[in-house]
Structure 1
Amino acid sequence: MSDSLPPGWGAPPVQTGIIGGAGSLTPDGRMLAYAGFWVRTAAAVLDYFLLSVVSLVVGIFTLPTVRLEEWQGDTPSYQVAFRDTDFSSSFHMPWPHVEVHDTGTHFLLFQLLYFVLLEASPLRGTLGKLVLGLRVSDLMGNRISLLRSLVRNLVKMFVSFPVLFIGVIMVAFTPRKQGLHDMVARTLVLRRERIVRFDGAG
């Protein structure tokens, strides 16, 4: 009696000899080809370039701004206040005034949302992946859920990358081209999908 697994959690057998690397054939006749280390690296570079551009554009609109504030008292004086600085002073002379904004945390949250939402969306991949023809799927080649995408990207951001990139380098050496985050979330990154049909005629 064969064991049954929930949909998307079982894996078709790995097959070799597929153009572009190893892959697998699903029961419904789809040929899944796994995306290798270098093409996934290229997609990541594109994504982080895009995120850097967005960060730069946002930064332009949040650069320190200057304003003059009249102090209350018998002697008129002014204070120069710079936004987003970590300086603070109460001297009666031009000096930066603190208004700290934790932009690093906001950007990290935006980055997480970018990967989680796009990979769980009907696009099934970030913009960098889409440019290179990649998409994220479960082990049967189907679209992943929001929860699975969240788990995948949390592990990627806080384990796979920070710990000497070991979780990412694993992509180059595992049979299904999975990183640590893919193994934990039970996901694949696919390069192409082909429908395979067999004719009954000899």
Structure 2
Amino acid sequence: MPLSPLTGEQRYAGFWMRFWAYIVDLIVVFSLTGLIVKPFTMIDSFREATLWLWSVSGLLGGVIFFAYFLFMTKWRGQTLGKMIFGLRVIRKDGERLSWSDTLIREVVGRFIHRLLFLFFLYAVVAFTPRKQGLHDMFADTLVIHE
């Protein structure tokens, strides 16, 4: 069942609103990472521990980053940053976000941007009619003003 009917009157969230919401989310994620990972880095063996090419603390930070966006978006359709700015992620058809929608949008989309250092592709939001980023297009989602 759709959460709300999608009409042509939806106000799509533009680049700058999404950018500032993302900055708030980064503050939250870095704070969580500091609270969770920092105590372990005081242990010498943990600080020096590596898994292939990555440090264990770096991997934990990445897990926290992706988990925050994944679970907040699936649970509420919005992260804390989006809540503050009155934004919400919805499916194009108005149905509730599924796990696959959320995984594609939040993990695959962000991984591609981060792995390939293609942060500039987030600017696509400014030039598409529905203000969609590539990760939104992959997942058939929209970010709207509530």
Whole-angstrom CA distance in 2 between matches of 1:134 and 1:141: 15
Residue 71 of structure 2 is aligned to residue 117 of structure 1: yes
Alignment match of 1:133 (pick from 63, 86, 89): 86
State the partner residue of 2:61: 107
Relative distance call for 1:35 and 1:60 in structure 2 (3 A) is same
Shift of the alpha carbon at 1:64?
Answer: 2.4
Superposition TM-score, scaled by structure 2 size: 0.82
Whole-angstrom CA distance in 2 between matches of 1:85 and 1:118: 29
State the partner residue of 2:29: 51
Whole-angstrom CA distance in 1 between matches of 2:60 and 2:66: 10
1:101-132 deviation digits (Å, cap 9, x = unpaired): 612112212221211121122x2111111111
Whole-angstrom CA distance in 2 between matches of 1:163 and 1:141: 32
1:32 and 1:141 in contact (8 A); partners too = no
Name whichever structure is richer in strand by fraction: 1
Structure ID, larger Rg: 1
SS of 1:32 mapped into structure 2: coil
2:47 and 2:57 in contact (8 A); partners too = no
SS of 1:34 mapped into structure 2: coil
Q: Which protein, 1 or 2, shows the higher relative CO under an 8 Å CA cutoff with sep ≥ 6? A: 2
State the partner residue of 1:25: 7
Superposed CA RMSD in Å reads 2.3
Identity %, equivalent residues = 33
2:15 and 2:123 in contact (8 A); partners too = yes
1:26-52 deviation digits (Å, cap 9, x = unpaired): 6xxxx4210000000001000011111
Residue 34 of structure 2 is aligned to residue 34 of structure 1: no
| Unmatched 5+ stretches in structure 1 | 1-6, 13-23, 66-81, 87-98, 193-202
State the partner residue of 2:122: 168
SS of 2:40 mapped into structure 1: coil
Whole-angstrom CA distance in 2 between matches of 1:107 and 1:183: 27
Alignment match of 2:140 (pick from 186, 193, 197): 186
Superposition TM-score, scaled by structure 1 size: 0.61
| Unmatched 5+ stretches in structure 2 | none
Whole-angstrom CA distance in 1 between matches of 2:93 and 2:109: 21
Relative distance call for 1:126 and 1:85 in structure 2 (3 A) is closer
| Alignment coverage as a number of residue pairs | 139
